[in-house]
Amino acid sequence: MLRIARTLSIGCLSFLLFLLPMNSPAANTLIDNITAQVYFSPMGGCTDAIVQEISQAKQEILVQAYSFTSKDIAKALVAAHKRGVRTVIILDKSNQSKRYSAADFTFNMGIPTYIDAKHATAHNKVMIIDKETVITGSFNFTKAAEERNAENLLILRSKELAERYIANWEKHKQHSQEYGGRR
């Protein structure tokens, strides 16, 4: 089992963001003092790292995901919600299927859940915790992502970066519909 977790020098991340084209929405993003942890799957500890971050949340967890099927991540989100952490989830429209989905699960657990049907696919994989920690990367919140897929996960600590992700999350929530469960 290979587990890789590294803290990056954020000067290099700031430099990479500086290299973005000037017409990019992120062109003006030069952020200092970011702490980053990097994980890779399969079997690289991505799920454990996400669960650890969720378990430390004190105020708020905002989620944008295509879906999620990881029982460990789902349990951690429910536990956070039950201990009073504001938890809100935006999922892709594929969760409005005839089968039981992540949207059904989170709705049934009392977590406000929204469906983003504006896009062909709402394929984000983002969690923003306590307006300071951003979890992102190609890592889907699934068992397959941890055990079989080659994926990456970044855990970034920066209030400034989190603000940008929150603004994007809010933009998507505005055009999403609150999920009311299967009928």
> Of these residues, 123, 131, 143, 159, which one is catalytic?
123
pLDDT at 42: 95
For residue 167, is pLDDT > 60? yes
Q: Are 109 and 84 in contact (CB under 8 A)?
A: no
Q: Please, what is the end-to-end C-alpha distance for the chain in angstroms?
A: 43
Which CATH code fits 6-178? 3.30.870.10
pLDDT exceeding 90 applies to what percent of the chain?
67
Catalytic: 130? yes
Is 75 one of the catalytic residues? no
pLDDT given at position 17: 43
Q: How many CB atoms lie within 10 A of CB 149?
A: 15
118 is catalytic: no
Per the residue annotation, which of 81, 93, 116, 125 is the catalytic one? 125
Specify the DSSP element, H or E, that contains 65.
strand 60-65
Residue spans of the domains in the chain: they are 6-178
Q: Which residues pair with 35 in a beta bridge?
A: 157
pTM over 0.85: no
pLDDT at 182 over 80: no
pLDDT digits (tens, 9 = 90+) for 32-91: 788 999 999 999 999 999 999 999 999 999 999 988 889 999 999 999 999 999 999 999
Catalytic residue among 92, 93, 116, 130: 130
